[in-house]
């Protein structure tokens, strides 16, 4: 007896898949790049699952499990035959994703670095409306320092004082960072300081993954222009994003990592040091900074007994 609709044949399924693949292949390179940044931000800031994506082939399936990723969805594999459920691989703990390749563009002159940084701030960052953080900010915080800096400090995001002044690390945490830099035998203007996001999240909350993925192309361009010898991440959120890791600070700090061919040292955020102002915390931070000093050839200044306390 005839029914109201014809059964779905393998040929129909194949045609439907072809239409989906054709639509996917028409997406722009810009959209795919934004999706990759969103994935990195989601992984770094604790989301444990992402939507499956359509791949450009005759087979549609969830992305293959990277040793560092745990995909919570069950892949649905569609071929020319009826759909089959493919059991997922056992989830692996998130450690780090494959990091981008080192920068290959030639190094810029000091004047060209300064010009490009200023142009980016003036024409892109100050008036940026790409994410919701622009709705509540007073001033964007581009970052500041030496365009030829050997050390690039990266924090999480601007706070109340930074939002008011448009400068990074100017509150109590900034005062402590200045002391940390001074203990290395340097002055603030000899390093570069910036944040993962350029605008203050309301109530100093952790930036959301979509805010991070929208904003971090500015930071990556700053790093490409300046080409520091060492990156120092301040606090766990900055380390998690740069390293794409879900490890604790205790496991990350005190050892070298790499980001696009640049050595990276995670350490505690100055605000955390102020909250946990113990000899153990301060000794750990000083140990991290000494590794950085040794890497770039800085002399170890003599510290008084009062400074050690």
Phi and psi angles of residue 21, each rounded to the nearest 5 degrees, phi first = -65, -40
CA distance 273 to 235: 10
> Could you please report the per-residue DSSP string of 91-142?
P-----PPPPPPP-SPPPPHHHHHHHHHHHIIIIITT--SSGGGGT-SS---
Q: What is the pTM of this model?
A: 0.69
User: Where does the chain hold its CATH 3.40.470.10 domain(s)?
Assistant: 110-308
Which distant-in-sequence residues (6+ apart) come within 8 Å of 294 by Cβ?
Answer: none
CATH for 110-308? 3.40.470.10
- Digit-by-digit pLDDT tens for the chain (309 residues) are 444 445 555 555 455 444 544 444 445 555 665 666 556 555 554 444 333 343 333 333 433 433 333 333 333 333 444 444 444 444 333 333 345 789 999 999 999 999 999 999 999 999 999 999 999 999 999 999 999 999 999 999 999 999 999 999 999 999 999 999 999 999 999 999 999 999 999 999 999 999 999 999 999 999 999 999 999 999 999 999 999 999 999 999 999 999 999 999 999 999 999 999 999 999 999 999 999 999 999 998 776 555 555
- Cα separation, 231 vs 259, in Å, equals 8
């Amino acid at each position: 007896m005839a029914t109201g609709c014809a059964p779905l044949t393998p040929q129909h399924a194949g045609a439907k898949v072809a239409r989906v693949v054709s639509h996917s292949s028409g997406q722009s390179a810009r959209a795919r790049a934004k999706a990759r940044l969103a994935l990195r931000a989601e992984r770094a800031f604790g989301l444990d699952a992402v939507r499956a994506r359509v791949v450009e082939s005759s087979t549609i399936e969830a992305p293959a499990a990277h040793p560092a990723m745990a995909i919570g969805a069950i892949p649905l594999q569609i071929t020319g035959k009826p759909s089959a459920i493919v059991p997922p691989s056992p989830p692996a703990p998130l450690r780090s994703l494959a990091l981008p390749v080192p920068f290959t563009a030639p190094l810029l002159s000091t004047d060209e670095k300064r010009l490009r940084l200023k142009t980016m701030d003036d024409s892109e960052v100050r008036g940026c409306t790409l994410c919701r953080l622009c709705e509540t900010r007073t001033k964007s915080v581009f970052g500041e320092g030496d365009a030829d800096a050997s050390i690039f400090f990266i924090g999480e995001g601007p706070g109340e004082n930074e939002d008011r002044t448009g400068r990074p690390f100017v509150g109590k945490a900034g005062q402590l960072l200045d002391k940390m830099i001074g203990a290395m035998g340097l002055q603030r203007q000899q390093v570069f300081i910036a944040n993962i996001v350029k605008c203050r999240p309301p109530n100093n909350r952790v930036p959301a993954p979509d805010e991070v993925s929208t904003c971090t192309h500015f930071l990556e361009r700053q790093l490409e222009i300046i080409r520091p010898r060492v990156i120092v991440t301040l606090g766990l959120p900055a380390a998690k994003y740069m390293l794409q890791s879900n490890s604790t600070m205790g496991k990350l700090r005190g050892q070298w990592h790499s980001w696009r061919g640049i050595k990276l040292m995670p350490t505690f955020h100055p605000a955390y040091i102020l909250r946990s102002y113990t000899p153990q915390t301060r000794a750990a931070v000083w140990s991290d900074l000494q590794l950085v000093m040794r890497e770039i050839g800085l002399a170890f200044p003599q510290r008084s007994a009062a400074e050690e306390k």
